[in-house]
Chains A and B, each alone.
Chain A
Amino acid sequence: MSPLLVVDGLVKEHRRGRHVVRALDGVALTLERGEALGLVGESGSGKTTLARCVLGLTRPDAGSIRLDGAELVGLAARARRPLGRRLALVAQDPSAALDPRLTVRALIEEPLIVHRTGPRAARAVRVFEELEAVGLSAGQANLYPHELSGGQRQRVSIARALVLRPELVVLDEPVSALDVSIRSQILNLLDERRRATGCAYLFIAHDLAVVRALCARLVVLCAGRVEESGPCAEVLAAPQSAYTRELLAAVPGAAKR
């Protein structure tokens, strides 16, 4: 079976007047079905641009992105639409990602309505299944985002992303805006949901310890290029690139004991 996602030779340039920045400079990676792949890099490394290209929010200048063998680059908007069921995003800041005027229930139901997944009663069943799966109670379904804590809001974002049972979820720094005591709760939930649903994660993070906790493999991006990739255990134990070694050396002492 072919890999779920194959990215090859991806190039994206941002232009400001005469100024050209190569955000992605020939990035290649593959992601297997059900796999969690960590994408690590500093600000400006191109990790968010790569995620935007995969989600179809940014059009790359060159290269290819194949989902299940089918090319996504250059697809017309109408042809892209069905992909919305197969790809999902969990953003960094759930307070910004959730419409403040919708209840938890409406937020989770919205993707089901947009993609016309059947009658109201069936949707309601799905919403409550998903609500329970992310550890929220039925009583919280009628609350608004501002009535929830940061961790609960991120649980809603995860439910909203997973409600259509996508094959690939892009997670852009999903725990870095959360309080420290909440982060491992959400990492545990993400790991459990991936195992239960079989979806694959493209997990963007700057924190190597967080990536190691959730992903079996990682890709290190630097200035739009893949600096190094491989199983987390190998890359972290014996990094081949000087840049990865520098990143590892900068991790504060307490994480390395």
Chain B
Amino acid sequence: MSLFAVHDLAVEFPTAAGVVRAVDGLSFTLEAGETLALVGESGSGKSQSVLALLGLLAAPGRVVAGRAFFEEKNLLRLPERELAALRGRRLAVVFQDPLAALHPLLTLERQLTEHLCWHRRDTRAAARAAAAAALAEVGLEPPERFLAAYPHELSGGQRQRALIAMALLLEPAVLFADEPTTALDVRVQAQVLTLLKELQRRRGTALVFVTHDLGLLPGFADRVQVLYAGRTVEEGPVEAVLARPLHPYTRGLFASLPRLDGPLAFPLPSIPGAPPPPLARPSGCAFHPRCALARAECRTRVPELEEVRGAPRRRSACFAWPELLAEVTH
């Protein structure tokens, strides 16, 4: 049995203009120590999925379908008390903006130990020692100096390290990281990703990594699910998906990443149009108006996410996957 298993999660937001289905049938499984990347653009539902699984959806958002099994409990049916006992202890999260996630008026010591005293009923001294060890582990040394620091005294990278330390304090089984490096400079981004990877290897934590950037995945994530307009369009092992995408959206997204080497020819490869607004999603496959391979049935029928015969552990939600699979790569 998997460590974490989500089946058919659906999240809706009722608005004055109609009901927005932000997440529409998300399923994934996660094994101990594994890294799963959820990749998508704005409006793809990647962040709302994470919030829904942790019981942190903002009103009026609500889970309308699905099950999420973790340690033999369905998280989506769990009373808030029980969920709160898991959150921060067995399930942890790191968000994009570390400044918003830290309390500006409290020292790191207060913020890191609060956590331990609440979940584990540690004494102040024991909590302080654990917090110091955690800060040292993420490279914030000497830890005494950082324990006494306020968030504004830290750089963006240091704040994100502090949040990672906080998230990993109680050795969670699953860490959700929602765009943890998007607000950081490239050199700091590389350092933070390396740190996350190291800590994960050392502790065997499973990681759900939410990002808009396919470019970050090689060497970092094991498997990837690509989301578009609330639905999974493709999933599979990272190297295989990037080597031969089996959905035109993944293919276009990867091709349109600017490269540092290789020939440059204008126009750069790009996907025409824009992701659809949530209340005006196209019929059939939501990607069809932007797709070069679209045919009549794409406008009327929603392609199911199905196993790809001939490509192990891969699934695609495109009627044309056999053609993409058969294409000779250059």
Chain A contact residues, CB within 8 Å of chain B: 42-43, 149-152, 179-185, 187-188, 191-192, 206-210, 212-213, 236, 246-257
- Asked whether A180 lies within 8 Å of B257 as measured between CB atoms, the reply is yes
Interface residue? B242 (CB, 8 A):
yes
Partner of A184, one of B187, B217, B268, B275: B268
- Asked whether A185 lies within 8 Å of B272 as measured between CB atoms, the reply is yes
Residues of B256-282 at the interface with A, using a CB-CB cut-off of 8 Å, are 256-262, 264, 266-272, 274-275, 277
- Asked whether A256 lies within 8 Å of B261 as measured between CB atoms, the reply is yes
Q: Shortest distance in angstroms between B216's beta carbon and chain A's nearest beta carbon? A: 5
- Asked whether A43 lies within 8 Å of B215 as measured between CB atoms, the reply is no
Residues of B73-105 at the interface with A, using a CB-CB cut-off of 8 Å, are none
Q: In whole angstroms, what is the CA distance A179 to B229 when docked?
A: 13
| Cβ-closest chain B residue relative to A253 | B218
Most buried by A among B214, B217, B266: B266
- Asked whether A253 lies within 8 Å of B215 as measured between CB atoms, the reply is yes
Interface residue? B122 (CB, 8 A):
no
A250 proximity list for chain B (CB < 8 A): 186-187, 189-190
- Asked whether B257 lies within 8 Å of A254 as measured between CB atoms, the reply is yes
Assuming A180-B212, A191-B266, A206-B185, is B190 touching A249 (CB within 8 A)?
Answer: yes
Q: In whole angstroms, what is the CA distance A230 to B256 when docked?
A: 26
B254 proximity list for chain A (CB < 8 A): 254
Binary per-residue interface labels of chain B (173-201) against chain A in the complex, 1 for a CB within 8 Å, 0 otherwise = 00000000000011101100000000000
- Asked whether A184 lies within 8 Å of B215 as measured between CB atoms, the reply is no
Taking chain B's interface residues, is the majority helix, strand, or loop, or is none over half, making it mixed? loop
A236 proximity list for chain B (CB < 8 A): 260-261
27 contacts between A and B (CB under 8 A): A42-B187, A151-B274, A180-B41, A180-B214, A180-B256, A181-B41, A181-B252, A181-B274, A181-B275, A182-B271, A183-B258, A184-B268, A185-B270, A188-B268, A191-B266, A192-B266, A206-B185, A209-B258, A252-B190, A252-B215, A254-B216, A254-B218, A254-B257, A255-B258, A255-B260, A256-B259, A257-B259
- Asked whether A254 lies within 8 Å of B267 as measured between CB atoms, the reply is no
- Asked whether B264 lies within 8 Å of A149 as measured between CB atoms, the reply is no
Q: In whole angstroms, what is the CA distance A252 to B254 when docked?
A: 13
Q: Shortest distance in angstroms between B74's beta carbon and chain A's nearest beta carbon? A: 34
Which 10 pairs between the two chains have the least Cβ-Cβ distance? A209-B258, A184-B270, A250-B190, A254-B215, A42-B185, A149-B274, A179-B41, A188-B267, A184-B256, A184-B268
Q: In whole angstroms, what is the CA distance A247 to B260 when docked?
A: 12
Interface residue? B123 (CB, 8 A):
no
